Chains A and B, each alone.
Chain A
């Protein structure tokens, strides 16, 4: 995909989008925990151990599901939609499920490297971070100047 340099999303837009996603995931996790523990108290009058286990697994999977499903289905997370950026394959097509899942797993498993690797955006021709280089993706602005998302 040959786009002008300005068509690729920059560092600040990506960080703001990521911050929005983190807030949404945190709020969603808090709601899930509240519903699970509160519901168990109301329905079972106690909180069995398995409820904590299920909630822990669900919360652990929530970010993976959130990011991979968002990139696969829409190419954008809600934070990306807000900031008008989308993740694409390096040739410009939308991500398939496996690449979305791989990107989410690598990014979340190596979150510090994900963040530090974002500095590469500042010097790369296509504003790619380390995770983009590793997964063969690019992040572009969408919905501007007639460019579709």
Chain B
């Protein structure tokens, strides 16, 4: 299943690979560590944003039934609760541990990059196949019809054929003239006739 959101990223990676090949830059990796980290962070952020947006939408639907002031007051009360403070502790620990998880982020970024590249390749293959089918089915017959009925093209084909025949005739003349002289010289040698006409070619 192709993830359409990843296709632009995959196309960018394919383009980078092409440039890398064309420019002969062998030392530069297809997806660098920095790039993979950025992609991993971006993917994590996108995932978090999706989850947060989903949760907010759910909470919003519940809070929408109450007045705004009541919501603000409830929020303050919730944050002041010791239970909530305890609940925020893992989040703080996760933030401090984020630096240690850089490798995991890079790995995640690479995985996302390769998946995006595969998605882009699949999309390109599908699109090129359908485009070729369209060209074969609709475009080429029209072009061929136009070429067949175009008097300029016919004239060009006739000129080509005439030129080929002329060349063939010229070659035949050249070879036959040489053969004439050789045959004549052979007959003269065979019968001991005068040898004043040596073959010119």
Q: Please give the residue numbers on chain A whose beta carbons come within 8 Å of chain B beta carbons, in ascending order.
A: 5-6, 9-13, 16, 82-84, 122-123, 127, 141, 144
Cβ-defined contact, A5 with B197, below 8 A? yes
> By DSSP majority rule, is chain B's interface helix, strand, loop, or mixed?
helix
Closest to B175 in A: A12
Q: How far apart are B14's CB and chain A's nearest CB, in angstroms? A: 59
Known contacts A82-B172, A83-B176; A10/B183 CB under 8 A: yes
Q: Are A123 and B180 in contact (CB under 8 A)?
A: no
Question: Which A residues lie within 8 Å of B193 (CB)?
Answer: 123
Q: Is B179 an interface residue (CB 8 A)?
A: yes
Query: Separation in Å of the A65 CB from the closest CB of chain B?
Result: 24
Chain B, interface residues (CB within 8 Å), range? 10 to 19
CA distance A6 to B187 in the complex (A): 16
CB pair B181 A6 closer than 8 Å: yes
Given contacts A5-B197, A122-B187, A123-B187, contact A10 B180 (CB under 8 A): yes
User: Which residue of B is nearest A142, CB measured?
Assistant: B173
Query: In whole angstroms, how far apart are the Cα atoms of A122 and B190 in the complex?
Result: 12
A-B contact pairs, 8 of them (CB 8 A): A10-B177, A10-B180, A12-B179, A12-B183, A13-B173, A13-B180, A84-B169, A123-B187
* Complex: A122 Cα to B200 Cα, angstroms: 15
B103 interface residue per 8 A CB criterion: no
Question: Cβ of B197 and Cβ of A11 under 8 Å apart?
Answer: no
A141 contacts which chain B residues (CB < 8 A)?
Answer: 173, 177
B172 touches A16 (CB 8 A): yes
| A6 close to B183 (CB less than 8 A) | no
In the complex, A126→B180 CA distance in Å?
13
Contact A9 B169 (CB under 8 A): no
Is the Cβ of A84 less than 8 Å from the Cβ of B173?
yes
A123 — nearest CB in chain B belongs to which residue? Answer: B193
| Given A6-B181, A6-B197, A11-B183, 9 additional A-B pairs, CB 8 A | A10-B176, A10-B177, A12-B179, A12-B183, A16-B176, A84-B173, A122-B184, A123-B188, A123-B193
Q: Which residues of B contact A84 (CB under 8 A)?
A: 169, 173
Which of B177, B180, B183 gathers most chain A CB within 10 Å? B180
Instruction: Report the nearest B residue to A13, measured CB to CB.
Output: B176
Complex contacts, A13 vs chain B, CB 8 Å: 173, 176-177, 179-180
Whether A83 pairs with B173 at a CB distance below 8 angstroms is: yes
Contact B173 A10 (CB under 8 A): no
Would B180 and A82 count as touching, CB distance under 8 A? no
Instruction: List, in ascending order, chain A residues with CB within 8 A of B188's CB.
Output: 122-123
Please, which residue of chain B has its CB at the minimum distance from the CB of A14? B180
User: Which residue from chain B places its CB closest to the CB of A85 in the assembled complex?
Assistant: B173
A144 → B minimal CB distance (Å): 7
A77–B180 alpha-carbon span in the complex (Å): 19
Instruction: Write out the residue numbers on chain B whose beta carbons fall within 8 Å of the beta carbon of A82.
Output: 169, 172
Interface residues of B in 76-94 (CB under 8 A from A): none
